[in-house]
């Protein structure tokens, strides 16, 4: 007889594996630029140059390790050099992020936290994260407001 705890652990593991499998091939980010709409799945994002850094956030406890795509690299791949990005979350919350924020050693479009893909419940599947501990200029209300989680759409506004 399987105990209740064992059943819960098995169900949680199965759900995690199902969510990770579903992200492969499923669009997690829609990008609109110059009249073109592109959808990216998790595999496409993970195929881009990977960036990882440790930082604390005002939304989490202790130092976290974030892995994702540099916003700078992402913008370079799109050929975007100026303007703003309208970043929108699953719940339609939206912020504008200046393209000038996309600098080397700057923010990333994170898809992993502490080595695990992020679920919607855990601010995922995508979260724009700045290396807050690396530079005091990243520790402002303006930057915190740009740190959108549950990101699913980016529109380039030039």
For the stretch 42-86, pLDDT in tens is 999 999 999 999 999 999 999 999 999 999 999 999 999 999 999
pLDDT band at 24 (very low <50, low <70, confident <90, very high): low
- The DSSP string of 10-37 is HHHHHHHHHHHHHHSSSEEEEEEETTEE
For residue 158, the model assigns a pLDDT of: 79
The pTM is what? 0.83
Domain spanning 4-157: CATH 3.30.420.280:
no
- What tokens were used for 46? 């993970």
Domain ranges of the chain: 4-157
Q: What pLDDT digit, counting tens, does each position of 29-45 carry?
A: 999 999 999 999 999 99
Average pLDDT over residues 107-135: 97
């Amino acid at each position: 007889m399987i105990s209740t705890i064992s059943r819960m652990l098995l169900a949680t593991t199965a759900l995690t594996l199902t969510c990770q499998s579903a992200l492969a091939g499923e669009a997690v980010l829609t990008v609109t630029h110059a009249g073109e709409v592109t959808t990216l799945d998790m595999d496409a994002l993970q195929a881009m140059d990977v960036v990882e850094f440790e930082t604390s956030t005002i939304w989490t406890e202790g130092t976290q390790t974030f892995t994702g795509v540099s916003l700078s690299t992402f913008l370079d791949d799109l050929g975007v050099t100026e303007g703003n990005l309208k970043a929108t979350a699953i719940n339609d919350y939206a912020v504008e992020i200046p393209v000038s924020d996309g600098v080397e050693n700057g923010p990333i479009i994170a898809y992993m936290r502490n080595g695990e893909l992020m679920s919607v419940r855990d601010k995922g599947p995508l979260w724009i994260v700045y290396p807050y501990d690396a530079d005091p200029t990243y520790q402002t209300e303006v930057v915190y407001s740009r740190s959108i989680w549950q990101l699913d759409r980016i529109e380039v506004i030039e």
